[in-house]
Amino acid sequence: MDQDKNERDKKMTSHYDAQWVETFYDEYGEKEWNRLIREPEEEVKLHVHRYYLEKYIQPGLHVLEIGAAAGRFTRILVELGARVTVADLSSGQLDLNRKYAAEYGFEHGVEDRLHLDMCDMSVIEADSFDVVVCYGGPLSYVFDKAGDALREIKRVLKPVGVAMFSVMSLWGAVHKYLDGIISLPVEVNRAIIGSGDLCPATYPGNNHHCHMYRAKELEELLTSHGLMVLEMTACNCLSTLWNEKLAEARKIPEQWNQILEFELQACREPGCVDMGTHTIAVTKKENHHA
């Protein structure tokens, strides 16, 4: 068993640095609240993430939101009637979550706020939550500790619970940032693309560290930790790089609604799942039927 765990976990080559993540998000501050509304293509991404929350969250469910940050999705979860426990590694983001909850009136749905690392959630009892939401890349930040995080998520989830993730996508990121990428030395790009790791070992001097997943790799990681994948989708495979056109379409509801409709459809096609900047996966514990 331990040997299996080691085999799985050593595929992730870089080392998790919790202190780096915490400092990065403390300093990122208010920008996190605006991240998913600052450009039309981010709004499309928000729409796809929200669509899957609407599908799986029913009023009264107990939801653990890991990496909730400033609360963009906390607000949606509360609007859907969930009882939310907010968790994050960054105390600065937790402060912002509290601030925006008061400002936008979603504090009533927040049951608790926990300053924790999802790799060790021993403060939470087993089988506590109906749903765990881990949107926006926490699983991309923990690098070689992704297995620990998944074991913890599975532990705190009720037997029939659902866990929802979104992670940074390797090919989606390459697509979006291709202009900058081609100006880097080929050895740097080979190291990043080969491992999926954006970190000092692959790209010295870069100020954002994360593991970018291939969709297949994410699926294998989840299933090898006892989480059965119910759905996998990209979130902006059509819209990425079309900000100007999207801004025009945004003013014409029929056009905007068409974009959202077709984006949802395209993103879950097997040929497109790798091509958004994030990949979403909805899972449940194995041996339990949803």
Ligand X SMILES: C[S@@+](CC[C@H](N)C(=O)[O-])C[C@H]1O[C@@H](n2cnc3c(N)ncnc32)[C@H](O)[C@@H]1O
Q: Which residues of the shown chain bind ligand X in the complex (CB under 6 A)? A: 21, 25, 32, 36, 66-69, 72-73, 87-90, 93, 117-119, 135-138, 141-142
- Residue 41 or 88: the one with the smaller Cβ distance to ligand X is 88
- Residue 172 or 249: the one with the smaller Cβ distance to ligand X is 172
Query: Least CB distance from residue 222 to ligand X, whole Å?
Result: 17
Query: Least CB distance from residue 213 to ligand X, whole Å?
Result: 15
- Residue 149 or 246: the one with the smaller Cβ distance to ligand X is 149
- Residue 66 or 173: the one with the smaller Cβ distance to ligand X is 66
Query: Least CB distance from residue 70 to ligand X, whole Å?
Result: 7
- Residue 136 or 161: the one with the smaller Cβ distance to ligand X is 136
CA separation for the pair 36, 38 (Å, rounded): 6
Query: Least CB distance from residue 258 to ligand X, whole Å?
Result: 25
- Residue 92 or 161: the one with the smaller Cβ distance to ligand X is 92
Query: Least CB distance from residue 186 to ligand X, whole Å?
Result: 29
Question: What is the SS3 assignment for the chain?
Answer: CHHHHHHHHCCCCCCCCHHHHHHHHHHHCCHHHHCCCCCHHHHHHHHHHHHHHHHHCCCCCEEEEECCCCCHHHHHHHHCCCEEEEEECCHHHHHHHHHHHHHHCCHHHEEEEEECECCECCCCCCCCEEEEEECCCHHHHCHHHHHHHHHHHHHHEEEEEEEEEEEEEHHHHHHHCHHHHCCCCHHHHHHHHHHCEECCCCCCCCCCCEECECHHHHHHHHHHCCEEEEEEEECCCCCCCCHHHHHHHHCCHHHHHHHHHHHHHHHCCCCCCCCCCEEEEEEEECCCCC
Query: Least CB distance from residue 288 to ligand X, whole Å?
Result: 25
- Residue 196 or 249: the one with the smaller Cβ distance to ligand X is 196
Closest residue to ligand X in the complex (CB): 136
Query: Least CB distance from residue 36 to ligand X, whole Å?
Result: 6
**Distance in Å from the first CA to the final CA of the chain:** 27
